[in-house]
Amino acid sequence: MIVIVVGLSAIIFAYATNGFAGMGSNLSNLFSSSGNAIQERVVVEQVTFNETGAHLGVNLYVRNDGTNPAIIADVYVTNVTASKQVTAYAPSPAKQINSGSFAIIAVTFTPDVGTTYALTIATQLGNTVIVNAKA
């Protein structure tokens, strides 16, 4: 009986120390990412819709005013008038915007003239920017 209790205690101790060590590193990664997220600042300079021709969709002119590079993870297009999501776009390869520079992100979909769209840009660190534009 004593051997079983000692064995189980050793297993629980080993599990707990590894679990707490992993939790500590996850916590430090969380705070590190939060600090980096504060230092990226994505700004939408201009939105242009391509309503005719071969390349239908929207062009987003995005600038990074932060001190860290911003990596664009996703762009979501929502039809505000109809309250429904139109498309989700993930740039491949990921679009990195260095501090002080800008990039053009082209999202392909068929815009309806006169409709208002909410364009949400999400970075890999979790920051989002929402801009409303009328096609």
Q: What is the pLDDT of residues 38-88, one digit of tens each?
A: 688 999 999 999 988 888 999 999 999 999 999 999 999 999 989 999 999
Full strand arrangement of the beta sheet holding 102-107: 42-50, 57-64, 102-107
Q: Same domain for 63 and 127?
A: yes
Q: Helix-strand-coil percent breakdown of the chain, rounded to 5?
A: 25, 40, 30
The span from the first CA to the last CA of the chain, in angstroms, equals 76
Q: Same domain for 34 and 45?
A: no
**What's the domain range around 7?**
1-38
Q: Same domain for 89 and 52?
A: yes
Look at residue 111 and give its three-state secondary structure. coil
* Residue at token pair 């769209």: 117
- Global pTM value: 0.71
CB within 8 Å of 74: residues ≥ 6 apart: 88, 89, 90, 120, 121, 122
